[in-house]
């Protein structure tokens, strides 16, 4: 387990730090360190830069980072069973937050009470709106699963894919694809390209015939597909030329395209939105809880969420943060056009149904894995 | 001979005690000393290894969550026959209401929903949705009761009806002690006495007493409230209605005077109450409550121990009608077990083929050269597993080093590059490389002990090179092969990182599914069952090996 200690005093002074300090109300009976769990990499870095450093600057709190978000649900359950809770704040996906809430491992949140309203006074629950997918979830960013493609494939005769169904079109766009090794999104995309309307996808997918239909569609590209499990796989495969088409998180594609200048382009059509955010483990001691809530009020306000977009191309979950999104901290490019939430990119976006997946996940996963193994 | 025949008593030692007993005593002391010496290790292994594994394996049969969360429902369902194809009676729904409202208060209903969702898709959201509403079930009756007598809404009325006087006295004493301690600034951590029912009330109003007692105790344990200050939730009024409609006026008469005075007007009025169909309330929440399959699943998984997880691990499933096979498109585990065994054997075989000549070379070269070679064997052993696996990716992928070389040499056409990774081949190559040192090292240490003079002697007696090797050298190296094979095979069978990274869809092992169920789907019961089966398979193979080859015939040098 990689832990990074971030000492507040060792930080270089941030230009804006002084500004926040006076906005922060004092924190009474609060622990002076907190263990935050996140995903590591560029994403965790964006959180450190946008939330943790300014907060540490203003309060002197020590942050301990644990890069365990991928196994957060299992580890929290184990900690709970062992009666030894070591985490204070955990970054998870929307679907995981729902499961943690179901298991009683995450605390229920009163969003209006505990989080800061928008600058114009809109209460947090309205500012986050439908991003609040479970009672325990504090949304942070919107990301998407979308496709990147090589823009130097000779066999494509200059055509560029601009439709999700081009993924399934081996004649016009030959070459290997990479898809995630789980049913989520793949089944939905397959049905959409098999002529199902976006609103009916889950109704169709609920039936065994619908599931077979989705798998039959995926069958058409099965032997041309490499199945990935880690978010870094597709960018690597695209950069190596192993695949010509691949799905992954949009932020990963951003770094391949913009930061590493690979001959890869983005296809935003039918990107599948997903949300990432915080949960507070149930059963924190009072001083730790006070500290976490104090931090969260700061870290999820309108300005902080907009600040995060300077470091990574994920859209802030608050409505009121959207106009404040500015330029990349190092590259200086405008971040707006790279956000999944950008109206131009989100024209034909798809939204996963978490509640549906919570029910069908086990069933469909068994089916999907059996299909893969055939 | 005559001596022995004449001696009738036991043999005595020098101090006059029977020799047998003194010997036993001496031996016992020795055994105890030996035990004391290994005790630290033994305790360490028991506590950190055996106990957690036993605990984890126990989860493969454990299923108390259903009967713990829904005790009344599982009892009420005992007589229900799922084969009739009808949802159960309103009594079962009432029992379920009391269970569910308590579970929702403890936030356990969604957990149970997740558990049952493994058996029947859809139960998870069914419980989640209904759990949000269930504390309103009975509101119609609550309103009507309070119309008859507004006092029925008041907590103190319910105290009079339900609470045991001695519990009230205990609670008051505890409360006084708490207040006194707070005033004095002392810590006070004595638990409050848990709510107790008044004698006799449970006989007259069984459901009400049960529902209220659950409510009162939950108020204490979940929210640290005094039940005497809390208004009961609507399902308690549902229970009161159901009780009063069933009991005659004579039964009310068996209660004490104060309770009679409270309940008499309500009892007279219940006949005229507007009724509400409890089942309809559930159907409003979700149509699926009508589905007998849901209830049959609860009934089938009511016992505290279940073979369900083990059945799932071999592509069967427990249904209300007994054991059935999984639908064909969901069968995966048997195939994965077979694949794991087969591929582990192939990896073991290729390790023997590749490792044997190297070990032979190592043990027969002069010391200085062989030491350098040994370091070359060990070097990858010291490199991170992930690095080695990723290196294989770079080598084997279609745009990788090997394919590039083959294309450059013209052996393979550019548009027909070999697929060597993300399949079984990739897993076998990468794992053979990773596990090779585990084969070479035992082989090497055994071969070191084979005196070269034996082979020379065989040759001097006229054996060809091959005969000398096969008849003289090879049999002596078999213990090393045995040790290496056991090591490699057992390590391979439980591997999951390498197959996950290079296995694609056809090269993954059963351990990948176990990891998935532990960390991703959270179906720990199934993971434990799969793990238990894997452990059993290894033990059986070990036993077979012992029977066929003999475990004495294994040597690490």
Mind listing the pLDDT tens digit for each residue in A317-350?
Answer: 999 999 999 899 888 899 989 999 888 999 999 9
Contact A266, A146 (CB under 8 A): yes
From A194, A190, A222, select the one nearest A373 (Cα to Cα).
Answer: A222
In angstroms, the separation between the Cα of residue B115 and the nearest Cα of chain A is 10
Q: Where are the domains of chain A?
A: 3-136+280-338, 145-274+343-373
Cβ A359–B125 below 8 Å, yes or no?
A: yes
Does residue B116 sit within a domain? yes
Question: What residue in A sits closest to B330 (Cα-Cα)?
Answer: A367
**What are the phi and psi torsion angles at B547 (to 5°)?**
-65, -40
Are B422 and A227 within 8 A, CB to CB? yes
Q: CB-side exposure of B546: number of CA atoms within 13 Å?
A: 7
For B178, the domain range is 139-272
Flag if B399 and A240 touch (Cβ within 8 Å).
yes
Residue B142 predicted with pLDDT over 90: yes
Same domain, B390 and B493: yes
Residues B289 and B351 reside in one and the same domain: no
Per-residue pLDDT, A68? 92
As a whole number, mean pLDDT of residues A249-264 equals: 92
Q: Stretch A270-287: mean pLDDT, rounded? A: 94
Strand partners, A315: A142
DSSP H helices, chain A, are 17-23, 41-47, 53-59, 72-82, 94-102, 111-114, 124-128, 186-192, 201-205, 208-219, 233-240, 250-254, 286-299, 302-308, 354-373
Residue B419, Cα to own-chain centre: how many angstroms?
38
Judge whether residue A5 has pLDDT over 70. Answer: no
CB contact at 8 A, B519 and B300: no
CB-count burial class (<10 Å; 0-12, 13-18, 19+) for B550: exposed
Residue B132: alpha-carbon gap to chain centroid: 29
Backbone angles phi, psi at B256, to 5 degrees: -70, 170
B335 Cβ under 8 Å from any chain A Cβ: yes
Note the pLDDT of residue B8: 64
Q: For residue A67, is pLDDT > 70?
A: yes
- Which positions ≥6 away from A340 have C-beta within 8 Å? A142, A143, A144, A146, A250, A268, A271, A273, A313, A314, A315, A346, A349
Confidence of residue A11 (pLDDT cuts 50, 70, 90): very low
Residue B45 domain-assigned? yes
| pLDDT of A10 higher than 80 | no
Q: Please check whether residue B384 touches A, CB under 8 A.
A: no
Closest CA to A254 of A345, A153, A154: A345
Residues 6+ apart with CB under 8 A from A201: A188, A191, A192, A350
CB-nearest partner of B124 from A70, A229, A358:
A358
Mean pLDDT, rounded, of chain B? 91
- Residue B439 included in any domain: yes
Q: Which of B108, B117, B397 sits opposite A359 (nearest CB)?
A: B117
The verdict on B431 and B401 lying in the same domain is yes
Q: Is A259 in contact with A191 (CB distance < 8 Å)? A: no
Q: What superfamily in CATH does domain A3-136+280-338 come from? A: Periplasmic binding protein-like II (3.40.190.10)
pLDDT band of residue B1 (cuts 50, 70, 90) is very low
| Mean pLDDT value across chain A | 89
pLDDT surpassing 60 at residue B499: yes
Among A127-131, B336-340, B344-348, the minimum mean pLDDT is found in A127-131
Neighbours of B537 (CB within 10 A): 15
DSSP single-letter state for residue A220:
T
Residues of chain A in contact with residue B519, where contact means CB-CB under 8 angstroms, are 70-71, 73-74
Residue B357 lies in a domain: yes
Number of Cβ atoms within 10 Å of the Cβ of B204: 19
Q: What is the mean pLDDT of residues B407-428?
A: 92
Instruction: Test B110 with A240 for CB contact under 8 angstroms.
Output: no
Tell me the angle at which helices B109-117 and A94-102 cross, rounded to the nearest 10 degrees.
Answer: 110
Average pLDDT over residues A263-275: 94
Maximum separation of any 2 CA atoms in chain B, in Å? 116
Pairwise CA distance, residues A65 & B137, whole Å: 45
Residue B237 and residue A58: Cα distance in Å, rounded? 54
Residue A359 reports pLDDT greater than 70: yes
Residue A63: phi, psi to the nearest 5?
A: -105, 135
Best to test chain B binding among A362, A363, A374 (most B CBs inside 10 Å): A362
With bands split at pLDDT 50, 70 and 90, how would you rate the model's confidence at A82? Answer: confident
* Mean pLDDT value of segment B384-393: 91
Q: Are A361 and B521 in contact (CB < 8 Å)?
A: yes
Give pLDDT, residue A362.
Answer: 85
Number of Cβ within a 10 Å radius of residue B150: 10
Q: Does B523 touch chain A (CB under 8 A)?
A: yes
Query: How many other CB atoms sit within 10 Å of the CB of residue B504?
Result: 22
- pLDDT tier, A19 (very low <50, low <70, confident <90, very high otherwise): very low
Identify the CA nearest to A273 among candidates A246, A250, A303, A295: A250
Contacts of residue B458, defined as CB under 8 A and 6 or more positions apart, other chains included, come to B467, B468, B471, B472
As a whole number of angstroms, the distance between CA A100 and CA B110 comes to 10
The DSSP-derived string for A321-344 is: GGGG--B-TTT--BSGGG-TTSTT
Q: How many CA atoms lie within 13 A of B543 on its CB side?
A: 6
State how far the Cα of A320 lies from the Cα of B544, in Å rounded to an integer: 68
Q: Do A101 and B504 touch (CB under 8 A)?
A: no
3-state class percentages of chain B: helix first, strand second, coil last, to nearest 5 = 75, 5, 25
Contact B505 A103 (CB under 8 A): no
B330 touching chain A per CB within 8 A: yes
Residues B246, B111 share a domain: no
Interface contacts (A, B; CB < 8 Å): 87
- Chain B hits for A70, CB-CB cut-off 8 Å, are 519
A contacts of B520 (beta carbons < 8 Å): 73-74
Residues B272-290, mean pLDDT to the nearest whole number: 92
Residues A239, A255: Cα–Cα separation, whole Å: 11
A181-185 contact pairs (CB < 8 A, 24+)? A181/A227, A181/A228, A181/A229, A181/A372, A181/B505, A182/A365, A182/A368, A183/A364, A183/A365, A183/A367, A183/A368, A184/A352, A184/A357, A185/A145, A185/A247, A185/A272, A185/A352
CB contact under 8 Å between B518 and A74, yes or no, is yes
Reported confidence tier of residue B59, pLDDT bands at 50, 70, 90: very high
Q: How much is the pLDDT for A24?
A: 83
**How far apart (Å, rounded) are the C-alpha atoms in residues A147 and B260?**
73
Asked if the Cβ–Cβ distance from A371 to B504 is below 8 Å, we say no
Same domain, B496 and B362: yes
Contact status of B397 with chain A (Cβ, < 8 Å): yes
- Residue A81: pLDDT band with limits 50, 70, 90: confident
Minimum-distance CB partner of B128 among A71, A102, A227: A102
CA-based torsion, A302, A303, A304, A306: positive or negative: positive
Specify the pLDDT at position B101. 95
Question: In sequence order, what are the beta bridge partners of A3?
Answer: A66
Q: Are A236 and A248 in contact (CB under 8 A)?
A: no
Nearest CB neighbour to B522, from listed A74, A365, A370: A74
**Cα separation, A58 vs A151, whole angstroms:** 46
Q: To probe the interface with B, which of A230, A234, A359, A361 has the most B CB atoms within 10 Å? A: A359
> Do B25 and B72 lie in a common domain?
no
Specify the DSSP element, H or E, that contains A267.
Answer: strand A264-279
Query: Number of C-alpha atoms within 13 angstroms, CB side, residue B280?
Result: 4
What's the whole-number mean pLDDT along residues B303-316?
Answer: 94
Task: State the total domains in chain B.
Answer: 4
Identify whether B1 is part of a domain: no
Instruction: Name the residue with higher pLDDT: B188 or B123.
Output: B123
Cα-flanking dihedrals φ and ψ of residue B290, to 5°?
A: -75, -20
Under 8 Å between Cβ of A71 and A122: no
Query: Out of A103, A358, A366, whose CB is closest to B330?
Result: A366
Give the chain B residue nearest A175 (alpha carbons): B415
Neighboring chain A residues of B111 at a CB cutoff of 8 Å: 102-104
pLDDT value of position A103: 86
Q: Which residue of A has its CA nearest to B394?
A: A240
Q: Which residues are CB-contacts of A136 (< 8 A; sequence separation ≥ 6)?
A: A97, A100, A101, A106, A107, A108, A109, A279, A280
CA trace torsion B335, B337, B339, B340 (10° rounding): 160
Distance from CA of A310 to the nearest CA of B (A): 31
Same domain, yes or no: B196 and B113 = no
Q: Based on the domain organization, do B43 and B97 belong to the same domain?
A: no
Residue A215, class by beta-carbon neighbours within 10 Å (0-12 exposed, 13-18 middle, 19+ buried)? buried
Closest by Cβ to B332, choosing from A71, A74, A369 = A369
What share of chain B has pLDDT > 70, as a percent? 98
Query: Predicted confidence band at B557 (pLDDT cuts at 50, 70, 90)?
Result: low
Q: Please name the member of A77, A355, A360 whose beta carbon is closest to the beta carbon of B121.
A: A360
Residues of chain B with C-beta less than 8 angstroms from the C-beta of A356: 125
Q: Please provide the DSSP assignment of A95-150 as one string.
A: HHHHHHHHTT-B----HHHHSPPPTT---HHHHHGGG--STT-EEEEEEEEEEEEE
Nearest to B108 by CA among B79, B131, B138, B85: B131
Tell whether B245 and B338 lie within a shared domain: no
CB B498 within 8 A of CB B491: no
Average confidence (pLDDT) over B165-190: 89
Angle at B487 between CA B483 and CA B492, to 5 degrees: 150
Considering only CB atoms, A242 lies closest to which of B125, B398, B518, namely B398
Residue B483 placed within a domain: yes
Which chain B positions have a beta carbon within 8 Å of A359's beta carbon?
117, 121-125
Q: CB-based contact (8 Å) between B261 and chain A?
A: no
B426/A42: higher pLDDT:
B426
pLDDT band at B255 (very low <50, low <70, confident <90, very high): confident
Helices (H), B123-256: 123-133, 139-148, 155-162, 165-184, 201-204, 206-223, 234-246, 249-252
**Roughly what angle, to the nearest 10 degrees, separates helices B333-364 and B367-382?**
150
What are the backbone angles phi and psi of residue B121, rounded to the nearest 5°?
-60, 130
Task: Report the C-alpha gap between B480 and B497 in whole angstroms.
Answer: 27
Q: Are residues B259 and B216 in the same domain?
A: yes
Cβ separation A242–B332 shorter than 8 A: no
> Nearest CA to CA, how far is A114 from chain B (Å)?
20
A46-60, A188-202, B17-31: the lowest-pLDDT one: B17-31
Sign of the torsion formed by the C-alpha atoms of A288, A293, A295 and A300: positive
With beta carbons less than 8 A apart as the criterion, state whether B302 and B60 touch.
Answer: no
Query: Chain A contact for B315, CB < 8 A?
Result: no
- Was domain A145-274+343-373 assigned CATH 3.30.390.50? no
- Give residue B418's pLDDT: 92
To the nearest whole Å, the CA of B397 is away from the closest chain A CA by 7
The pLDDT tens digits for B522-533 are 899 999 999 999
> Which of B 419-438 lie inside 8 A of A, CB atoms?
422
B145 and B241 co-located in one domain? yes
Chain B positions touching A179 (Cβ under 8 A) are none
Contact B522 A99 (CB under 8 A): yes
Q: Please tell me the distance in Å from A266's CA to the nearest CA on chain B.
A: 22
- What ipTM was predicted for this assembly? 0.86
3-state secondary structure of B230: coil
Q: Are residues B42 and B71 in the same domain?
A: no
- pLDDT for residue B69: 95
From A358's Cα to the closest Cα of chain B, the distance in A is: 7
Predicted local distance difference test score (pLDDT) of residue B7: 57
B56 — pLDDT class (breaks 50, 70, 90): confident
Is some CB atom of chain A closer than 8 A to the CB atom of B108?
yes
Whether residue B539 lies within 8 A of chain A, CB to CB, comes out as no
Write out pLDDT tens, residues B110-122. Answer: 899 999 999 998 8
CA distance B37 to B31: 10
| Cβ-contact B215, B143 below 8 angstroms | no
Q: What is the C-alpha to C-alpha distance for residues A30 and A286, in angstroms, rounded to an integer?
A: 8
C-beta atoms of B397 and A240 within 8 A: yes
């Amino acid at each position: 387990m990689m832990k990074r200690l971030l000492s507040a005093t060792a930080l270089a002074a941030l230009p804006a730090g002084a500004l926040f300090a006076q906005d922060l109300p004092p924190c009474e009976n609060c622990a002076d360190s907190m263990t935050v769990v996140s995903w590591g990499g560029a994403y965790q870095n964006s959180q450190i830069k946008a939330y943790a450093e300014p907060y540490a600057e203003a309060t002197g709190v020590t942050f301990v980072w644990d890069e365990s978000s991928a196994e957060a649900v299992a580890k929290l359950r184990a900690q709970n069973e062992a009666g030894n809770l070591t985490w204070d704040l955990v970054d998870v996906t929307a679907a995981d937050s729902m499961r943690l809430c179901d298991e009683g491992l995450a605390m229920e949140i009163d969003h209006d009470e505990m989080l800061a309203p928008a600058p114009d006074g809109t209460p947090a629950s309205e500012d986050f709106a439908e991003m609040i997918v479970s009672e325990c979830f504090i949304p942070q960013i919107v990301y998407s699963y979308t496709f990147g493609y090589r823009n130097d494939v000779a066999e494509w005769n200059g055509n560029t894919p601009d439709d999700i169904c081009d993924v399934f079109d081996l004649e016009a766009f030959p070459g290997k694809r990479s898809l995630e090794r789980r049913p989520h999104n793949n089944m939905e995309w397959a049905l959409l390209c098999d002529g199902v309307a976006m609103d009916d996808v889950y109704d169709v997918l609920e039936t065994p015939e619908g599931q077979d239909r989705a798998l039959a569609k995926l069958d058409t590209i099965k032997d041309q597909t490499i199945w990935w499990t880690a978010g870094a796989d597709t960018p690597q495969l695209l950069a190596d030329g192993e695949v010509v088409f691949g799905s992954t998180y949009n932020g990963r594609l951003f770094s391949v395209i913009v930061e590493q200048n690979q001959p890869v382009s983005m296809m935003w059509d039918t990107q599948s939105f997903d949300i990432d955010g915080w949960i507070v483990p149930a059963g924190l001691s009072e001083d730790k809880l006070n500290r976490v809530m104090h931090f969260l009020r700061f870290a999820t306000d309108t300005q902080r969420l907009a600040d995060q977009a300077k470091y990574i191309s994920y859209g802030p979950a608050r409505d009121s943060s959207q106009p404040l999104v500015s330029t990349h901290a190092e590259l200086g490019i405008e971040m707006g056009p790279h956000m999944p939430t950008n109206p131009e990119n989100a024209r034909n976006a798809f939204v996963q149904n978490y509640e549906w997946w919570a029910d069908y996940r086990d069933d469909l996963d068994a089916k999907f894995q059996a299909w893969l193994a055939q | 001979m005559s001596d022995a025949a004449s001696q009738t008593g036991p043999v005595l030692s020098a101090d006059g005690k029977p020799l047998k007993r003194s010997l036993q005593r001496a031996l016992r002391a020795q055994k105890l000393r030996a035990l004391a010496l290994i005790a630290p290790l033994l305790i360490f292994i028991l506590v950190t290894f055996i106990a957690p594994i036993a605990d984890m394996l126990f989860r493969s049969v454990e299923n108390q969550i259903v009967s713990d969360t829904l005790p009344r429902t599982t009892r009420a369902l005992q007589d229900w026959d799922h084969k009739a194809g009808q949802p159960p009676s309103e009594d079962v729904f009432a029992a379920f209401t009391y269970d569910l409202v308590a579970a929702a208060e403890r936030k356990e209903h969604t957990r149970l929903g997740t558990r049952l969702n493994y058996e029947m898709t859809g139960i998870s959201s069914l419980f989640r949705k209904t759990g949000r509403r269930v504390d309103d079930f009975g509101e119609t009756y609550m309103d009507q009761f309070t119309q008859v007598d507004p006092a029925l809404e008041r907590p103190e009325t319910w105290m009079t009806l339900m609470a045991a006087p001695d519990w009230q006295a205990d609670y008051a004493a505890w409360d006084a002690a708490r207040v006194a301690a707070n005033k004095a600034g002392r810590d006070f951590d004595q638990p409050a006495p848990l709510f107790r029912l008044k004698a006799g009330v449970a006989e007259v109003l069984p459901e009400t007493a049960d529902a209220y007692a659950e409510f009162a105790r939950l108020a204490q344990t979940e929210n640290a409230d005094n039940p005497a200050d809390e208004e009961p939730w609507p399902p308690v009024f549902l229970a009161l209605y159901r009780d009063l409609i069933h009991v005659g006026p004579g039964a009310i008469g068996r209660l004490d005077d104060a309770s009679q005075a409270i309940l008499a007007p309500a009892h007279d009025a219940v006949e005229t109450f507007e009724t509400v169909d409890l089942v309809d309330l559930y159907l409003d929440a979700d149509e699926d409550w009508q589905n007998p399959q849901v209830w049959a699943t609860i009934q089938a998984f009511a016992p505290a121990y279940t073979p369900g997880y083990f059945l799932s691990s071999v592509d069967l499933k427990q249904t209300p009608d007994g054991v059935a096979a999984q639908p064909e498109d969901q069968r995966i585990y048997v195939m994965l077990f077979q694949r794991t065994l087969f591929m582990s054997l192939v990896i073991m075989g290729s390790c023997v083929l590749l490792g044997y000549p190297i070990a032979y070379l190592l043990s027969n070269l002069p010391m200085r050269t062989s030491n350098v070679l040994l370091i070359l064997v060990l070097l990858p052993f010291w490199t991170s597993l992930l690095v080695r696996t990723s290196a294989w990716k770079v080598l084997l992928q279609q745009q990788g080093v090997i394919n590039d070389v083959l294309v450059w040499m013209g052996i393979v056409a550019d548009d027909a590059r070999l697929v060597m990774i993300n399949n079984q081949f990739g897993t076998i190559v990468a794992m053979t490389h990773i596990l090779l040192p585990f084969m070479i090292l035992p082989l090497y240490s055994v071969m070191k002990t084979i005196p070269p003079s034996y082979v020379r002697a065989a040759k001097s007696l006229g054996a060809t090179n091959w005969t000398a090797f096969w008849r003289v050298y090879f049999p002596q190296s078999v213990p090393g092969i045995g040790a290496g094979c056991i090591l490699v095979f057992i390590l391979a069978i439980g591997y999951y990182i390498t197959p996950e990274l290079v296995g694609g869809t056809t090269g993954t092992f059963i351990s990948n599914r176990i990891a998935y169920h532990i960390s991703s789907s959270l179906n720990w019961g199934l993971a434990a069952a799969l793990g238990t089966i894997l452990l059993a398979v290894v033990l059986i193979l070990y036993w077979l090996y012992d029977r066929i080859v003999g475990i004495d015939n294994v040597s690490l040098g």
